[in-house]
Amino acid sequence: MTFQGVAQRIGLDVPVAVAFGCIIVLLLGGSLYSREFLSPDYLLQQLQVGAFLGIIASGAMMVILLGHIDLSIPWTVTLGAMMATALSGWIGPVGIWLAIPFGLLCGTFIGVLNGIGVAYLRLPSMIFTLGMNAVVQGLMVLHTGGFAPQDHATDAMHFLAVKRSIFGIPNALFVWMFVGIIVILLLRRTAFGRSVYAIGNRESVAYLSGINTNAVLIGCFAFCGACAAFAGVLLAGYSTKAYQAMGDAYLLPAIAAVVLGGTNILGGRGNYLGTIAGVILITLLQSILSVMQMPEAGRQVIYGSVIIAMLLLYGRGAKTRT
């Protein structure tokens, strides 16, 4: 098999290669600033932080591959964290065991609602999920204001998010790997995955080919909701408690990571290797900017500019003329 063949098989196309190239440049550039940047400890630390983003981006990617977008991610993250931490306060000690599944379930539920809005009501996903975000926000404000029995993370959440059980590798990284493997298997090995790409390319073709496109849409949105909530659960474990607006900082990075990894924002094209590259790239970029003590203002500007610049390199649409 030729090199090209191998590259194609593992999903290494131009955008992915560019993204990995940028990661190496960032690391080398960083190492000029401080040798710390190449130490295993620093890298593992980055991967641990990146894992949260990686999980969110996994879900976001499924939705983006469909040609849709989920803007309810921020408050779904918060929802996952708040519901998981609150459960033991509501139902007593059993809640400690059910905390994580419950958080995931809540996120999935929001995802299903999003999916129904997009699939059956045929509303633009961007608008519907934006509205859903506002509703969940309203619910969470109400929750923290009046009904939250407690907001502390359980030991299991702490364990998954912070501890390093095997060879000093962060558990969060294993969690991301687990989610990542699910996504890869789904996309590459199942009829569901094929349907996702097919819908992203042309939903009418998928429909005429006998695919239940509405079910696939709802499935992907549900998965995205579950991922966002799961990340919320872990974030609560990481910072020991759930708090308002904790997911706000993750929407743009998650979408950016997916798109920088070569997934077409209009759907139908992209692979998970790219999303991994995108997540690492974004995480490193954030880390380097903060190590360099770049103020938040500069970070935001660089951040937005990098995304635009990279997309201009390979994410452009077709011309009107042929």
Partner 1 sequence: MADRIPLLELKNVSKRYGGIAALTGVDFSAYAGEIHAVLGENGAGKSTLIKIAAGVTDATEGEVLVEGKPRHFRSPTDAMQAGVVCVFQELSLLPDMTVADNLSMVAPPTRGGLIDTKAQRTRAMELLKRVGCEDVHPLELVKNLPLSRRQMVEIAKALAKRPKLLILDEATSALTAKDVERIYLIIRELRDQGAGILYVSHRMHEIEALCDIATVFRNGRKIETFRKNERNVHQIIQMMIGREVTHHYPPKPPFQADRAPALTVANLSWGRELSNVSFTAGKGEIVGLGGLDGQGQRELLLAMFGVLRGVEGTVTIDGQPLSLSGPKQAMNAKLPMALIPEDRKVEGLMLPMSVRDNLTLASLPQMRSGLGIDGRKEADAVKAMIERLQIKAPNADDPVATLSGGNQQKVVLAKWLMTEPGIILLNDPTRGIDVGTKQEIYRLLRNLAAEGRTIIFYSTDYAELIGCCDKVLILYDGRITRELKGDACTEHNLISSALNVETVSGEAA
Partner 2 sequence: MSDWRYYISHNLGTLTAVGLFILMFSIYIGNHEVGLNPAVATTAANKAVLLALVAMAQTLPVLTRGLDLSVGMIFVMGNCLASAIVVGSIGEGMLGCIVVLAMGFAAGLINGAIVVWGRLQPIITTLATGAIYYGIALWIRPTPGGDVQTDIADFMTGQLFETVPTALVVLLLVVLLIWIPYRSTVLGRAAYAIGSNEQAAYMSGVPVKQAKLLSYALGGMLASLGGLMLTFNTYSGEASAAIGGTYTLNSIAAVVIGGTSLFGGWGSAIGSVFGAFVLRTIEDLLFVFDLPPLWQPLFQGVVLLVAISLGAVRVFRIRNRLELFT
- Using CB under 8 A, list all residues that contact partner 1: 8, 185, 189-191, 194-195, 197-198, 201-202, 204-212, 268-269, 321-322
Out of 132, 231, 246, 281, point to the residue binding partner 2 (CB under 8 A). Answer: 132
Minimum CB distance to partner 2 smaller for 6 or for 301: 301
What DSSP character marks residue 166? B
Task: Check binding of 314 to partner 2 (CB under 8 A).
Answer: no
Measured between alpha carbons, how far is 315 from 125 in angstroms, rounded to an integer?
Answer: 21
> At closest approach, how far in Å is the CB of 313 from partner 2?
10
> What phi-psi label fits residue 293: left (phi over 0), alpha (psi between -120 and 50 degrees) or beta?
left
Half-sphere exposure of 71 (CA within 13 A, CB side): 13
CB of 162 to partner 2, least distance (A): 27
CB 73 within 8 A of CB 247: yes
Q: Compute the least distance from the CB of residue 178 to partner 2, in Å.
A: 29
Under the binding rule (CB under 8 A), the answer on residue 257 touching partner 2 is no
- DSSP 3-state assignment of 168? coil
Token duo for residue 85: 């931490």
Which of residues 152 and 299 has its CB atom nearest to partner 2 in the complex?
Answer: 299
Phi-psi region of 11 (alpha: psi -120 to 50; beta: other; left: phi over 0): left
- Check if the beta carbon of residue 223 is closer than 8 Å to that of residue 62: yes
Residue that has been written with the tokens 């349907």 in this structure: 195
Q: Which does 294 bind (CB under 5 to 8 A by kind): partner 1, partner 2, none?
A: none
Contact 222, 111 (CB under 8 A): yes
Decide if 106 contacts 83 (C-beta within 8 A).
yes
Count the residues in the chain: 322
Q: Which of 126, 181, 182, 185 binds partner 2 (CB under 8 A)?
A: 126
Choose from partner 2, partner 1, none: what does 292 bind? Cβ within 5-8 Å by kind. Answer: none
- CA dist., res. 270 & res. 259, Å (int): 9
Does 1 contact partner 2 by CB under 8 A?
no
Which CB, 75 or 238, lies closer to partner 2?
75
Q: Out of partner 1, partner 2, none, which partner does residue 100 contact, by CB within 5 to 8 A per kind?
A: none
Q: Provide the minimum distance between the beta carbon of 291 and partner 2 in the complex, in angstroms, as a whole number.
A: 18
- For partner 1, give the closer residue by CB, 54 or 270: 270
**Residue partners of 320: CB distance under 8 A and separation at least 6:** none
Stretch that binds partner 2, among 1-9, 15-23, 183-191, 313-321 (CB under 8 A): 313-321
Q: With beta carbons less than 8 A apart as the criterion, state whether 180 and 124 touch.
A: no
Closest CB 55 distance from partner 2, rounded Å: 20
The entry of partner 2, partner 1, none near residue 32 (CB within 5 to 8 angstroms by kind) is none
- Which residues lie below 8 Å from residue 132, measured CB to CB, with a gap of 6+? 72, 110, 113, 114, 117
Nearer to partner 2, 194 or 202 (CB): 202
Nearer to partner 1, 9 or 145 (CB): 9
List interacting residues with partner 2 (CB under 8 A). Answer: 69, 117, 120-124, 126-128, 130-139, 141-142, 145-146, 202-204, 207-208, 245, 248, 252, 255-256, 259, 265-266, 295-305, 307-308, 311-312, 315-320
